[in-house]
Structure 1
Amino acid sequence: AYSDVEPKSYAPDWTFIADPVTLAEHSDFLFVTLAASAATRHIVGKQVINALGPDGMLINISRASNIDEEALLDALENGRLGSAALDVFEGEPKINPRFLELDNVLLQPHHASGTVETRKAMGKLVYDNLVAHFEGRDLLTPVL
């Protein structure tokens, strides 16, 4: 199942659930993969976390602002959420020390695209943009 603004035509075999609370109620694992915006700030708050429940796991691989960190910590400390896996944190690079005291949390640095292949592709793109610039051509990926 998934939640979004509207159903996606490319996911006809997946169940569309319009709101995150209902999605959490029907999930064992909730993966958060949202862009950061005013609309997504703390979209995973106390209601969503409580709906996921004491056997549920929250996995955030997007942006820290999407999670209400205080609500998350409270639920983890009090057994209302089973576990969490996080690679982004509010106030980075500092991590709330309460996370470090919990056995039901997996913490790791945000790697996003940290593979050999993507790093090589990034390097080639930088090189290609520099060559285009110095040859007076349009950049492949201009920053406006």
Structure 2
Amino acid sequence: MKWLEMSTENCPVQRSLNLIGEKWSLLLLRDAFNGVRRFDDFRRHVGLSEAVLSDRLRKLVAAGILRTVPYQEQGSRTRHEYRLTAKGRDLWPVMVALRQWGEAYVGDPEGPVLEIRHRDCGAPVRVVVECPDEHTELSPREVTVTPGPAARLQPKS
């Protein structure tokens, strides 16, 4: 079975994009990874309307990527912060890879907006695809892709 013969209805890339592929959702995740927790802080930093922000946050919570945690400032009503779940934290390599690509191809000529470094040694962090046995970085030309157990033929039209 070749790629063009395969159905994409259960493609994990497509399913992932259905959850997080919209621009505002990715920007909210970027901010969540950088410590933003509160609705007003997201709104101010990302520049979204309240309605769009509420919708995106609600979808990320429903998908199990963010969770809400109640808090109350003195003299105010109880509100909720948004925190990354384990499922959300597992998106970190994706966000680092997007940042890494952006720095390489559309970054500011003055340099990175943020630097991500290993806490222990100070080396810059980067995302790579590697062979787990050889611990070597791989390019797309060095891998084979074959249909997996969930592959299905595309319906005939």
Q: Give the TM-score normalised by structure 1.
A: 0.26
Task: Specify which structure has the bigger relative contact order, considering alpha-carbon pairs within 8 angstroms and separated by 6 or more residues.
Answer: 2
- The TM-score, its normalising length taken from structure 2, stands at 0.24
Between Structure 1 and Structure 2, the one with more helix by share is 2
